[in-house]
Amino acid sequence: MISRWNWLRSLAPAFETTHHYRVRVQLGGGEDQAIATICTFNAMRTGDRLLVAFDLPKGGVAPHTAALSVQYSISTQDMPRYGPLHLITHRHLSSRYAPLKAANGKNSIVVRTS
What are the structural domain ranges in the chain?
A: 2-112
72 or 15, higher pLDDT:
72
Does the pTM surpass 0.75? The reply is yes
Contact in structure between 5 and 49 (CB atoms under 8 Å):
yes
If pLDDT is split at 50, 70 and 90, which confidence band does 62 have? confident
pLDDT tens-digit map of 65-103: 888 999 999 999 888 889 999 888 888 899 999 998 888
